[in-house]
A = this chain, B = another copy of it.
Amino acid sequence: MQKVLVVDDEEPILELLKYNLEKGGYDVKTAENGMKAVEIAKKFTPDLVLLDIMMPKMDGVETCRQIREIPEMQKSFVVFLTARSEEYSEVAAFDVGADDYITKPIKPRALMSRISALFRRDSKKEAPQSLITIGDLIIDRTSYTIKLKNREINLPKKEFELLFFLAQNPNKVFSREDLLHNIWGTDVYVLARTVDVHIRKVREKIGDDYIATVKGVGYKFNLA
């Protein structure tokens, strides 16, 4: 779950942003001024800071500069919020390491779209192996399909993810909790037995030879 810190001296703006971001699945914290923002940034280490450029006392540019000095915040994004009219130096903003800026009034949809674009671009760099070939089984993440003896099989998302994950670490045993944690995510609470059902469905489609049960421990992908 991505963490976002919103900094603005106007309460209604803070709430509007917080509401929309949380609805979009982000972990949100807020600050009403630059100093508090820097404090929170140190502990919270957000992946993104939304920063009003016009604030009393310490303005956005200065706040950004200080945030950029925090070692853990080097790789985070900073996006400025600015009123349409004010030509508050774009250059100065980008000079201190801003990644984008959004003009007020804020349209929630545009905001969300641009934020997710930011994170998407970031995550695209990590191109984990997307094609696994083991014997006569080919698992292709780009097409979300598997081929078994040249026969193409379509798997639902969870089943695919499960098979893909196991196949990435052949012969290694994972407990049900491990699998839930890695595939379902850390903040989803599903019974461990649910994994059994998915395992069975995968076996139904690719046969019983690929996934082995290790009783009392979990499951593993069998490397011939």
A→B interface (CB under 8 Å): 12-13, 15-16, 19-20, 89-91, 94-95, 98-101, 105-110, 113-114, 116-117, 120-121, 140, 142-145, 154, 156-157, 171-173, 177, 181, 186-187, 189, 191, 214-217, 220
Please state if B89 and A143 are interface contacts (CB–CB under 8 Å).
no
Q: Across the interface, which residues of B come within 8 angstroms of A20, CB to CB?
A: 94
- Expressed in whole angstroms, the minimum distance between the Cβ of A43 and any Cβ of chain B is 25
Interface-central residue, A91, A121, A172, A187, by most chain B CB under 10 Å: A91
Please state if B90 and A157 are interface contacts (CB–CB under 8 Å).
no
Q: How far is the CA of A142 from the CA of B106 in the complex (A)?
A: 31
Please state if B217 and A177 are interface contacts (CB–CB under 8 Å).
no
Report how many copies the assembly holds.
2
Please state if B107 and A100 are interface contacts (CB–CB under 8 Å).
yes
| A90-B12 in contact given A117-B181, A157-B216 (Cβ < 8 Å) | yes
Q: Across the interface, which residues of B come within 8 angstroms of A191, CB to CB?
A: 109
Q: How far is the CA of A214 from the CA of B153 in the complex (A)?
A: 12
8 Å CB contact of A171 from B95, B143, B157: B143
Q: How far is the CA of A191 from the CA of B100 in the complex (A)?
A: 22
| A189-B110 in contact given A173-B144, A214-B144, A220-B143 (Cβ < 8 Å) | yes
Q: How far is the CA of A193 from the CA of B117 in the complex (A)?
A: 17
Q: Across the interface, which residues of B come within 8 angstroms of A177, CB to CB?
A: 116, 120
A to B CB contacts below 8 Å, 17 in the list:
A12-B89, A13-B91, A15-B91, A16-B90, A94-B108, A100-B107, A100-B110, A101-B105, A107-B189, A109-B191, A110-B189, A113-B189, A116-B177, A120-B177, A142-B172, A157-B214, A157-B215
